[in-house]
Amino acid sequence: MKRVITYGTFDLLHWGHIRLLKRAKEQGDYLIVALSADEFNEIKGKKAYHPYEERRMMLEAIRYVDLVIPECTWGQKRSDIIKYQADVFLMGDDWVNKFDELSDICEVVYLPRTEGISTSKIKNDLEINK
């Protein structure tokens, strides 16, 4: 059982997120998503449109996702990987090299982001066309 873990806010869930989760699941057999809590988003300087519970419910409805846990701090990744016995830590490549220090305890994988879609693009496009 190869276990993969990934982190994010996943706000205004879109096809770029889904492609990331699909490819993440393809790296193993079990996918854990550490979902940014609302309080952590404040630390990240992000204000999610959907609160944590709704973002969690939407992620849990995705066939590629096996478990959703809260992400509350930047520093929890190492203990999460140990606690959940993750074999692969995976992020989109906007984070490339940012988490390489985790490579002593798991495989670190960065996948190409999906071009042409993002939560901020959705917000901007809706603002322009309203």
Catalytic annotation present for 46: yes
Verify whether residue 77 is a known catalytic residue: no
48: Cβ–Cβ under 8 A, 6 or more apart, which residues?
A: 9, 11, 36, 38, 41, 55
Residues 31-60 that bind ligand C2G (CB under 6 A): 36
Binding status of residue 94 toward ligand C2G by CB under 6 A:
yes
Stretches 60-68, 88-96, 100-108, 122-130: which one binds ligand C2G (CB under 6 A)?
88-96
HSE-up of 76 (CA within 13 Å, CB side)? 17
Confirm or reject binding of residue 70 to ligand C2G (CB under 6 A). no
Residue span binding ligand C2G (CB under 6 A) among the ranges 3-11, 61-69, 80-88, 101-109: 3-11
CA atoms of 78 and 89, how far apart (whole Å): 10
Nearest distance in Å: CB 76, ligand C2G: 9
Please report whether residue 71 would count as binding ligand C2G according to CB under 6 A. Answer: yes
